[in-house]
Structure 1
Amino acid sequence: MFSFLPLIIFLALYLGSGIYFSFIGLGNPLHQISPLVCLLPALFFAILFNKNKIQHSVDTLIKGMGNKTTLTVCLIFLLAGAFSTVTQSLGSINVIASLTICFLPAQLLLPGMFFISAFIASAIGTSIGVIALITPIAVNLAQNGAFDCAVGVGAVIGGSMFGSNLSMISDTTIAATSSQGASVKDKLKLTLKTGSVTGLIILTYLVMISNSTEVVSLSSLDYLSIVKIIPYISLIIMGLFEINTLVTLAVNMVVAGILGIAFFDYSIIDYSHDICRGFNKMNEVMIFILFSSGLSHLMYEYSQKKIDKFTDEVNLTRSQAELMIAGISSMFTILVSSNIVAILLTSNIAKRLAQRYNISPHRSAYLLEIFTAITKSILPYGSQILLASSIASLSPIAVLTKVYYCFVFAAVAITEIVINGRRHAVVAPQLPQI
């Protein structure tokens, strides 16, 4: 229980203050006290009140803050903020939104956000990049009366999950399959079944709730305006060629600046100011990611041995073993706030359980991948929710409650586990040595 006390302290302060401020009638209750401030007591508690020496705890905290995944996400956030701000000043978002309206009737704009996000995410193998790309478009459409902003952003996040689950070049797919010794093709076949069912359910639901017949009017287009979408087209093409996300964002930030200076009333001074504004917009989120990553590593260090012992001693059915893989991977995603790190941390546990209960490698990889992705996408302090809520200027809670795809996907996946388990009655043999 001690392992989770820092997280409980943070959630109690953050959610508790939000509930209090909502009761006394303040607007934006979850923004009245920064989550960074709520995280500090949890950090102090985790460092000071544990069995290890303070210096060891500080070293663990810094190690967690400085791991490759955390720093990469921070850099992506900075560049995504700068790219988004520059293209907004250039007017790229207005042009894309206007083109979307030209090709889609009003009732299909909301499901269109989900479909476009899913298509691009599957092609480029990332959720963060798609959120950075499509969320400003969804916000622009929402501001012009197309749909509710939180629902639109939730649809974008749901569609972006295809980049984690249904892409052969996704880092989560590669991590999950390689850790379990599984085939990417076999894993994708499993994911496609549950993912396509969930996608159809969500598309149908979004069409049903999109009863707006209001004609959305945006700025008129001319031939020169099409130049403004070149940075986005370039972003997608570079993603299709599997070019590093950091490089892709940096290159297209430069492309957007060059086009603005060359063809429009946009000076190099405006460009430099927009880059700084984009960086500043992401400062709080970036610092929060650093702190939460450090805290997560502290919490993981406390709980690792107990969890390993529990998985060795427990006796389960096959479906219960699969649910345990799903549960442990989700729990570690909550702890480390990274599906990649969670997959790497739980891969040996999943492999032990898979071998013990005759679960195929591609199925254990499938379970690891989808449940870490689902959990990460609805964490109020996860990178997807934080990035989308920052761009949309909404609270993380307001956004995550509208990510319908993740909740339905979890229900469909759990149902599939139970049904599949009934076809495989397994008596647990002796635990193999790995």
Structure 2
Amino acid sequence: MCNSPENNALGLSPIILFVLLVVGSGIITQDFNTMPILVAFTLSTAYALMLNRKDKTLSFTDKVELFCKGGGDKTIILLAMIFLLAGAFYAVTIDIGARDATVNWALQYVPTDWLLPGLFIITSFIAFAMGTSMGTISAITPIGIGLANSLGVPVPLAVGIVVGGAMFGDNLSFVSDTTIAATQTQGVKLRDKFKANLLIVLPAALVTVVILMFVEINGAGIVTPEDYDFWLITPYLIIIVCALLGLNVITVLGVGISAACVVGISKGIFTFPTMLHSIQKGMGWMQDMVAIALMIGGIVALMQAYGGLQWLVAVIKRHVKSRKGAEAGSAALVSFLDVATANNTIAIVTSGPIAKDFSHQYDVDPRRTASILDIFSCGFQGLVPYGGQLLAAASLAGVSPFSLTPYCWYPMLILIFGMLAIATGLPKFKTDTSHIKS
């Protein structure tokens, strides 16, 4: 019904309309909350359904079917499940006092100047172990919010730190879907991509830590051991252990919710009915995010069916003329696709074969190509306000996702260091074939 559509720039316009609606209304009213994101996506969906292919007319029924298939993609459904479980975990841990207990523990045992850098480092470590930025953001954002309230720093700042740490760990993790996608599409080994990636992103992480050490803190009151109950912290400790064991993100969140419920009931904080209501309340907080995820999946499917994504690929391919151009072209392609689809894994999988052709044609080391794909997709994914990561974090924090982007310093820095790597040709690798997967 929709194979090989003709390239069509207009096919990308639904996502452009969404950005114009949200950003435009925010600029006009000086308030980025003026246009609700769900409403903006609804209007963009309606507009997308009015478009069509250049070479073939699709019926309205065909377009609705494409939209529904896109919204029902396994990646989108997994994202929706993570949203719901994250909301439940957040609500239950707040209701039993786990977040406040964890923050009070940190204020007592971690030096004040290291609380914000420590939040970034711990989040990075958990994301590296868990292999998912979404699961990490869901688990650690409540702690970041609690720290922000205690230290007198803006909540978006603390949440931006969590997002940055999650993207750092996810970008390097051996079990991350983005890492697997990047290595599989370029035919390189995981460890070689890790080494290449680390040399580019580690400086960005170190700069982030240094910047966070100079953030002015207004609060940081002194607490005593009586101010918290260590047992309330155990749900967070348990999910960290589960992450280190390499469990699936759904399993990690499920175990975390169960642990929080057991603690709540054993401490007399919950009755069984109030526990169930707490879980339902948290899931209710995330219902808008689930609807947005479904709409994003549907819009992306329509943009692809109309030839919008194919047009983007063709435009970038025409401008690649050299080795450095091939690297820049791969970076630009995966970046634009991530902005268009709001999904870094989809962006890598879609751009991977084209980037591999660039590598072969212009003699680019595939380890560098795999690193570039992962770095630029993760960088933009940590900045796009309508991406799953910022939507989840913003929903948990009760703020606009647009308020988080200015504080996502690490994603900005990895894009800068990624561009420097392309411009300088560093790091360089010995020419051999041992990195290629058999």
TM-score (norm 1): 0.91
**In the alignment, structure 1 residue 205 sits paired with structure 2 residue 207:** no
Deviations 1:117-173 (A, max 9, x none): 112212222211221122111111211234222111111111111232111121211
* Distance in 1 separating the partners of 2:298 and 2:265: 41
Q: Counterpart in 1 of 2:234?
A: 230
What is the alpha-carbon distance in structure 2 between the residues aligned to residue 228 and residue 321 of structure 1? 52
Shift of 1:308: 4.7
Per-residue CA deviations over 1:231-290 (Å, capped at 9, x if unaligned) read 111111111121111122112212211221122331111111111111110011110111
Q: Which amino acid letter does the alignment assign opposite residue 261 of structure 1?
A: I
Task: Note the C-alpha offset of 1:313.
Answer: 4.7
Q: Does 1:3 align with 2:3?
A: no
> Amino acid of the residue matched to residue 291 of structure 2?
I
Note the C-alpha offset of 1:108.
2.1
Partner residue, 2:21:
13
**Structure 1 residue 406 corresponds to structure 2 residue 419:** no
Counterpart in 2 of 1:269? 273
User: Which has the bigger relative contact order, CA under 8 A and spacing at least 6?
Assistant: 2
Give distance in 2, aligned partners of 1:71 and 1:83. Answer: 18
1:389 matched to 2:388: no
The CA deviation at 1:315 is 4.5
- C-alpha distance in 2 between matches for 1:347 and 1:124: 24
Instruction: Report SS of the residue matched to 2:151.
Output: coil
Question: What does residue 113 of structure 1 align with?
Answer: 119
Normalising to structure 2: TM-score of the pair? 0.90
Query: Is the CA contact (8 Å cut-off) linking 1:57 and 1:298 kept in structure 2?
Result: yes
Change (3 A) 1:260 1:37: same
Aligned length: 416
Superposition deviation, residue 314 in structure 1: 4.4
User: 1-side partners of 2:383 and 2:318: how far apart?
Assistant: 31
Equivalent of 1:357, from 357, 362, 380? 362
**AA partner of residue 172 (structure 1):** T
The code of the aligned residue for 1:320 comes to G
Give the whole-Å Cα distance in 2 for the aligned partners of 1:322 and 1:107.
39
Q: Distance in 2 between matches of 1:55 and 1:219?
A: 64
- Structure 1 vs Structure 2 CA RMSD: 2.0
Residue 309 to residue 327, structure 1, CA distance change in 2 (3 Å):
closer
Q: Distance in 1 between matches of 2:319 and 2:384?
A: 29
Matches within 5 A, 1:6-155: 6-22=14-30, 29-51=31-53, 52-53=57-58, 54-155=60-161
CA distance in structure 2 between the partners assigned to 1:227 and 1:421 by the alignment: 48
Residue number in structure 2 paired with 1:431: none
Alignment match of 1:306 (pick from 311, 324, 343): 311
Contact preservation (8 Å) 2:68, 2:298:
yes
**Aligned pair in 2 of structure 1 residues 218, 382: CA closer, same or farther (>3 Å)?**
farther
* Distance (whole Å) between structure 2 residues aligned to residue 199 and residue 107 of structure 1: 17
Deviates more, 1:273-282 or 1:304-313: 304-313
Secondary structure in 1 matching 2:264:
helix
Shift of 1:219: 7.9
What corresponds to 1:428 in structure 2?
Answer: none
C-alpha distance in structure 2 between counterparts of 1:401 and 1:308, whole Å: 29
Separation of aligned partners in 2, 1:42 and 1:115: 38
Amino acid at match of 2:424: I
The CA distance in 2 between the partners of 1:423 and 1:194, in whole Å, is: 11
Q: Which moved more, 1:307-316 or 1:387-396?
A: 307-316
Listed as ranges, the gaps of 5+ residues in structure 2 are 1-8, 430-438
Aligned-partner Cα distance in 2 for 1:314–1:115? 39
Report the AA paired with residue 266 of structure 2: A
The residue that corresponds to 1:427 in the other structure is none
Instruction: Mark the CA change 1:318 to 1:44 in structure 2 (over 3 Å): closer, same or farther.
Output: same
